[in-house]
Amino acid sequence: MHPAILWKRLDEGLAQCELCSHFCVLALGKSGKCGVRVNQEGTLYTLVKDKIAALNVDPIEKKPLFHFLPKSTTLSLGTMGCNFACTFCQNYTLSQPPKHGRPIYGEEISPKQLVSFARQYNCASISYTYSEPTIFIEIVLETAQLAKKNNLKNILVTNGFQSKKCLQTLNAYIDAANVDLKSFQESFYSSYCDGHLKPVLNNLELIKKMGWWLELTTLIIPGLNDSEQELKQIASFIYNHLGPDTPWHISRYHPAYKKHLPPTPTSTLEKAYTIGKEIGLNYVYLGNTPGHQTENTFCPFCGKVLIKRYGFQVQEIRITHNSCSFCQQKIAGIFA
Ligand code: SF4
């Protein structure tokens, strides 16, 4: 157990966690919704600071980030635990056990070792991912500070449910984020995720203002968030509040955890793609559809293929000095 950050003492031994928008109030001996922060004798502790449960070198395209250092590799790490309880979670063996009081596995790897691994494997960045990085902020913060000093970028892959204080604490160290916008219905967030929509929307706007490179992902689940109206609401929000250059990744659902619906048909993903483009988004991508032409980046000005991909593999990049190599117009993103 290590002392946690971002919390405050309340009366009668209670502690309030200020890390995410649940703002849990923890009685003595109790843990918060995530199951990895606990009140011991009036002080808040984290149970995962010394427990990295997953560590891999990934293509950055797997996060997914398509406009941030394409074709680079990123050292990806995560602990167990999450502040959401998505019934369709594609990573539930990592994210959900702590909520149910099950053992938390992982090993202590120091920020120095992580930075050294990243350099050894020629990674351009470190990604805090797999479960929900908010709940292991103590690892993120220390590692990101050291990574920055060593010329590495830092990436959050997140559900976007942080408190404002949490985002502000991370602001100086994070360079890019992929944030899930899971739905545009509060009832979806409350019924299927044990979360809420509004804090996510507010955080997306804040992240954009803070200047992190931002891409969004929506996992389309048949019958739950695939109506034309909802897809239009999501695309319009991105267009109006985050800007038409914000990439939107539309991802195919596969049955997982407690939801066993059929995988999302390609025609539904294509419908979402068309809606995104019609609303005016410049960069819309389909995910979990290897070989589909919408995995490529097209120049919004001349229509030529700028980044050719197959799955997470980048086959060709035709962007020079952040501009289209064919028509020389500026392309949004960080490419060098
Ligand atoms: S991180 Fe969120 S879910 Fe976990 S204890 Fe803090 S407020 Fe609660």
Query: For residues 147 and 141, what is the distance between their CA atoms, to the nearest angstrom?
Result: 10
Residue 55, Cβ density class (10 Å: 0-12 exposed, 13-18 middle, ≥19 buried): middle
Quote the pLDDT of residue 47. 97
For residue 33, how far is the Cα from the chain centroid? Answer: 19
Task: Give distance in angstroms: CA of 134 to centre of ligand 1.
Answer: 9
pLDDT band at 57 (very low <50, low <70, confident <90, very high): very high
pLDDT band at 290 (very low <50, low <70, confident <90, very high): confident
Closest Cα to residue 130, out of 169, 75, 167, 182? 75
- Span 142-152, mean pLDDT? 98
- Span 123-144, mean pLDDT? 97
Quote the pLDDT of residue 228. 97
pLDDT band at 254 (very low <50, low <70, confident <90, very high): confident
Ligand 1 pocket residue status of 163, Cβ below 6 Å: no
- For residue 33, give the ligand 1 atom closest to its CA: 3
Task: Give distance in angstroms: CA of 33 to centre of ligand 1.
Answer: 6
Worst-scoring range by mean pLDDT, 3-17, 50-64, 231-245, 250-264?
A: 250-264
Residue 259: pLDDT over 80 = no
Q: What is the DSSP string of 75-87?
A: EEEE-S--S---T
Quote the pLDDT of residue 332. 98
Quote the pLDDT of residue 190. 97
| Residues 270, 257 contacting (CB under 8 angstroms) | no
| Residue to substitute in 19, 25, 48, 95 for testing ligand 1 pocket (most ligand atoms within 8 angstroms of CB) | 19
Residue 258: pLDDT over 90 = no
Task: Give distance in angstroms: CA of 21 to centre of ligand 1.
Answer: 8
Quote the pLDDT of residue 304. 97
Residue with tokens 């995104």: 276
| Residues 33, 99 contacting (CB under 8 angstroms) | yes
Ligand 1 pocket residue status of 252, Cβ below 6 Å: no
Query: For residues 38 and 32, what is the distance between their CA atoms, to the nearest angstrom?
Result: 7
Task: Give distance in angstroms: CA of 211 to centre of ligand 1.
Answer: 25
Quote the pLDDT of residue 56. 97
Q: Which helix (H) or strand (E) holds 210?
A: helix 197-210
- Span 20-48, mean pLDDT? 97
Per-residue model confidence as pLDDT tens digits over 194-232 = 999 999 999 999 999 999 999 999 999 999 999 999 999
Quote the pLDDT of residue 289. 84
Higher-scoring residue by pLDDT: 91, 53: 53
Q: How many CA atoms lie within 13 A of 220 on its CB side?
A: 28
First to last CA, the chain: 40
Residue 49: pLDDT over 90 = yes
| Residue to substitute in 5, 6, 18, 20 for testing ligand 1 pocket (most ligand atoms within 8 angstroms of CB) | 20
Neighbours of 253 (CB within 10 A): 22
Q: How many CA atoms lie within 13 A of 157 on its CB side?
A: 23
Ligand 1 pocket residue status of 165, Cβ below 6 Å: no
Going from N- to C-terminal start, the domains of the chain cover: 2-46, 54-295, 302-336
- Span 232-246, mean pLDDT? 98
Quote the pLDDT of residue 255. 81
Quote the pLDDT of residue 169. 98
Instruction: Report whether CATH 3.40.50.920 matches the domain 54-295.
Output: no
Query: For residues 161 and 158, what is the distance between their CA atoms, to the nearest angstrom?
Result: 8
| Residues 195, 159 contacting (CB under 8 angstroms) | yes
Q: Which helix (H) or strand (E) holds 153?
A: strand 153-158
What is the chain's mean pLDDT, rounded? 96
Quote the pLDDT of residue 117. 98
Quote the pLDDT of residue 291. 85
Quote the pLDDT of residue 90. 84
Quote the pLDDT of residue 260. 76
Can you point out the beta strands (E) in 159-272? 176-180, 213-220, 248-252
The residue whose C-alpha atom lies closest to atom 4 belonging to ligand 1 is 34
The C-alpha torsion from 221 through 224 and 227 to 231, rounded to 10°, is -60
Ligand 1 pocket residue status of 4, Cβ below 6 Å: no
Tokens for 95, please give them: 């994210």
Per-residue model confidence as pLDDT tens digits over 100-127 = 999 999 999 999 999 999 999 999 999 9
Above pLDDT 90, what percent of the chain?
Answer: 94
